Amino acid sequence: MTQKKKIRVLVADDHHLVRAGIVSLLASQDDIEVVGEASNGKEAVEKAKSLLPDIVLMDITMPMMDGIKASGQVARVSPATRVLVLTQYEQEEYIRRVMSSGVSGYILKSSLVDDLTTAIRTVHSGKRFVTPAVSEKLVDAYIKNTTTPRGPKAAVQLTNRETEILQHVAEGLSNLQIASKLCISVRTVEFHRTNIMEKLGVHETASLVKYAIVNKLIDLNI
């Protein structure tokens, strides 16, 4: 009897303990095989090219290259490989940004174990998978957008965290100082800053602060 071919998975996450936990979990599945690990986006692309996995389980915030950029490059070096994003971010704008990059699925790190294995099997079958909590946010956003009257130009919406970081940028704090002040990693600050700039359509810190001041996105009483 021919043995059923296993789903070959590459796990990309910059936290060793997270990777180890995922690898251990997937090792217990009869139809899933972890063929490699990557600790940053660049390594994920390189290993995807050499290993040609069926699935890359991709974190978003990683050094050297974030998961969104890495996902796009994986699609070029290994077209048959599907990317399933595994992340802590559940804000609607991040979800849209990730899904528009061409990935096949989006699952939260807070999801149940069964959700992760189901997501891998679903994506491998050629379908898309979005974790239930994320699906609910997208539906809510769609309903809000279709029922709220639109003005001549939609206002840019920043999350509370993005507004908080923008305030600190305007104060002249470095990424390291902001990270220390908010008790988050420097890479998380960098990710938020990149997302803010893309939302506002600016590419320099000076322009970012000017835009924020003109559009009253931050409190200047500092």
In this predicted structure, which of 1-10, 34-43, 174-183 has the lowest mean pLDDT?
A: 1-10
Nearest to 96 by CA among 48, 157, 179, 44: 157
What pLDDT score was predicted for residue 35? 97
Q: Which residues contact 137 (CB under 8 A, 6 or more apart)?
A: 90, 91, 92, 95
| 158 sits in which H/E element | none
CB atoms within 10 A of CB 132: 12
Q: What is the mean pLDDT of the chain?
A: 82
Tell if the pTM clears 0.75, that is, is over it. Answer: no
Binning pLDDT at 50, 70 and 90, where does residue 151 land? very low
Domains (ranges, CATH) in the chain?
7-138 (3.40.50.2300), 160-214 (1.10.10.10)
**N-term to C-term CA, the chain:** 72
